[in-house]
Amino acid sequence: MASATPPKKKPLPIPSQTILAKTFHWVNIISLLLMMSSGLQIYNANPVFGGRGGWHFPELFLLGGWLGGGRDWHFAVMWIYSLNLLGYGFYVFISRRWQRRFASASDIKAIRVSENVKRKNYAWHRLVYTLIIPILILAIASGLAMYKPVQLYWLASLFGNWQTLRTVHFITVPTVLLFTFVHSLFALKVGGTRLIKSMLV
């Protein structure tokens, strides 16, 4: 007598995300890519490291065509990026999503002592999500100081000198990219591809 085949497991449903959450994420991704490519156009005009003879990025990754065009793109998209982040911040606060998104004392404790792998992944995910906030503030603050160094002299002076200001602003870019990678990695660990799809599809 043939053994009964076990019933196939139904695929888990894709988590539900609000239209606002998806919109904030898509605007963030697109504006960040435009800011990076236009920022590299500005960088190539006078590299942060090595002066004008320093290493240049290939034209494939640039946006703007020349220094003035790169600046126009960069500073225009900067407002979209910043206002989108501000809007998302209000949305997270009003919808109380911060209670599930940002690290708490219990998450720090879970990272230290918990033996539950899934709980640790959740805790690490929230911690990474929390740590990116000061990096984003630093990126915007240093960018504004470079955009209006005379009007915002007090902000520019916090960085000491122009080269330090440029270096800090440049370093925030790979830091945000690293965050995006780690954020996606932990999203996969805690929710699988379903969580990624729920935010982007």
Give the pTM: 0.76
Would you state the pLDDT for residue 201? 66
Residue extents of the structural domains in the chain: 17-47+59-98, 102-201
pLDDT per residue over 50-88, tens digit each? 777 778 889 999 999 989 999 999 999 999 998 998 898
183: nearest Cα among 7, 28, 46, 1: 28
